[in-house]
Amino acid sequence: MSVILREAGLGDEHRLAAVGAATFLESYAGTLSGDDILTHCDTQHAATLYEDWLIGGEVRMWLAEAAEGRAPVGYVVMSPPDLPPANILPGDVEIRRIYVLHRFHGERVGWSLITTALDAARRTGRKRALVGVYGKNDSAIAFYKRVGFKVIGERKFRVGTTVHDDLILALDI
């Protein structure tokens, strides 16, 4: 299926929220507590959060849409780092989120999204990209390693009422 990438802007917050909640539920149902997932989606994938990011000017997002019908199928969020300070260097940028609906895995949508964000980071003089990922999300970790990221640390990450162990990965760009 053909997918179109474009930079997200005001008016896309509901598209981003829908994909974020759907992919989070899709990825973690059966792994994390259902109540924790729903609480996380209500707060961390609220349309108002994406709207705030779009208005704030420091966060950039790219949206992947199915060419036929233009339904949102994935996105990537690039922002100033929001990770433990010990892992951050001057010139760093964070790939804060990258989500693709499961049905579109294997279609290189994730690869297109991350290379778009990394190219934009390079053009703005960023030197290194960071990403935090759930330590038991083997498929996401494998994806980042294929891109060239390497583990540089760990952090604690709250989903609902539960704290989980995340890995922090970095890629010189």
In the numeric block, which tokens belong to residue 97?
């989120």
Angstrom distance (rounded) from CA 129 to CA 121: 8
Angstrom distance (rounded) from CA 152 to CA 166: 11
Of residues 50, 75, 99, 144, which has the active-site annotation? 144
The CA R_g of the chain, rounded to the nearest whole Å, is 15
Phi, psi of 16 (to 5 degrees): -65, -45
Whether 132 contacts 144, CB under 8 Å: no
Annotated catalytic residue 28: no
Residues labelled as active-site residues = 144
